[in-house]
Chain A
Amino acid sequence: MMADMLLAAEEKQDLGFMIKGVFSFDLGGNTLWITTSHICLLIVFLTLIVFSFFARGAIKKGTEVPGTFQNIVELIVELLDGLVKGTMGWSHYKFRNYIGTIFIFILFSNISGLLGLRPPTADYGVTFPLGVVTFSLITICKFKYQKVSGVIKGLCEPWPFWLPINLIGDFAVPISLSLRLFANVLSGTVMMALVYGLLKPIAYAWPGALHVYFDMFSGAIQTYVFCMLTMTYIADAVGDEVKA
């Protein structure tokens, strides 16, 4: 009975959470695919770019008493700045652009599931580069602010033969960061696809509550966690002392 239902659902429509290829082209003997992730990513990018153009215009001819749109933009910027300032200590002014950018990007990507897109962050090819960027920032900050001797000292922390374990610990950071974001968004996407695919006859209105949890709440929490961990790691690499 159940197996029949599952098979029927799979035959009627392949459960809609897989990444689908839209069209392919050849490049130097390899077949490259443009997939749904690329297109959803492009939509998110375009939305953000258009929004930022309007925000720039609103701020450029800003008034002393802000209008509605200017007020919203200032609110967003102040919120993000406050978040970075409260977490990072003295070095916050160097990283608030990066943190603000990835915060807005990941938030929009996660929430785009509400609009019927497949969230781009449910593709490991999107979250892993984010993790790698964070990892490069951490490493560069380590070498810049702790100097080479400090980095070597940090790697040999309790005892010198602890070095391999410390190295593995360092390289696990981008992988665990990106896998956490990816798996959380993917699980929400799969849940919603299962609800719509298997419970189709009775899926009226009530999946909205699930959307609120899986897309909005979970997406916002994961965005917050990704940025928070990035900030914590970078602040850890930069160190406490003020070095101009």
Chain B
Amino acid sequence: MEGMFNENFILGCSAIGAGLAVIAGIGPGVGQGIAAGHAAAAVGRNPGAKGDVTGTMLLGQAVAETTGLYGLLVAMLLMFVKPLMP
């Protein structure tokens, strides 16, 4: 039992878990792309409101990014803080 779960095994599993956690970045990527696309359409329809549209888009994208950042944080914890190490 102790031989099975040695440090290298836990380190490898942590690395795999970190990789899986970063898959969370797909969601914000899609969301930010949709937001940017709609912002581009809005600027095309009303070029005068470019400043307002850009500000709103950046704010919305930054909020949408949060879930991806949680995944990133989990990956960072697994890789560098190593909470699973005995």
B contacts with A, residue count (CB < 8 A): 13
Q: Is A237 an interface residue (CB 8 A)?
A: no
**Could you say which of A180, A186, A187 contacts B62, with CB atoms under 8 Å apart?**
A180
- What is the predominant secondary structure among interface residues of chain B facing chain A? helix
Q: A18-B80, A190-B76 are in contact. Are A179 and B69 (CB under 8 A)?
A: yes
- Decide: A183 and B59 in contact? CB cutoff 8 A: no
**Could you say which of B59, B72, B76 contacts A228, with CB atoms under 8 Å apart?**
B59
**Could you say which of A186, A222, A229 contacts B76, with CB atoms under 8 Å apart?**
A186
Q: A18-B80, A190-B76 are in contact. Are A183 and B69 (CB under 8 A)?
A: yes
- Decide: B66 and A225 in contact? CB cutoff 8 A: no
B23 surroundings in chain A (CB, below 8 A): none
Q: Is B73 an interface residue (CB 8 A)?
A: yes
A contacts with B, residue count (CB < 8 A): 15
- Decide: A187 and B72 in contact? CB cutoff 8 A: yes
- CA distance in complex: A222, B66 (Å): 11
Q: Is A221 an interface residue (CB 8 A)?
A: yes
Q: Which of A212-230 contact B (CB under 8 A)?
A: 221-222, 224-225, 228-229
A221 surroundings in chain B (CB, below 8 A): 58, 62
- Decide: A180 and B66 in contact? CB cutoff 8 A: yes
Whole-angstrom distance between the Cβ of B86 and the nearest chain A Cβ: 20
- CA distance in complex: A180, B59 (Å): 12
Q: Which of B59-76 contact A (CB under 8 A)?
A: 59, 62-63, 65-66, 69-70, 72-73, 76
- Decide: B59 and A225 in contact? CB cutoff 8 A: yes
Closest B residue to A232 using CB positions:
B59
A228 surroundings in chain B (CB, below 8 A): 55, 59
Whole-angstrom distance between the Cβ of B2 and the nearest chain A Cβ: 24
- Decide: A225 and B69 in contact? CB cutoff 8 A: no
- Decide: A222 and B62 in contact? CB cutoff 8 A: yes
- Decide: A179 and B58 in contact? CB cutoff 8 A: no
- Decide: B66 and A179 in contact? CB cutoff 8 A: yes
Q: Which of B24-76 contact A (CB under 8 A)?
A: 55, 58-59, 62-63, 65-66, 69-70, 72-73, 76
B70 surroundings in chain A (CB, below 8 A): 179, 183
B65 surroundings in chain A (CB, below 8 A): 180, 184
- Decide: A183 and B73 in contact? CB cutoff 8 A: yes
Q: Which of A167-209 contact B (CB under 8 A)?
A: 176, 179-180, 183-184, 186-187, 190
Question: B residues bordering A, Cβ < 8 Å?
Answer: 55, 58-59, 62-63, 65-66, 69-70, 72-73, 76, 80
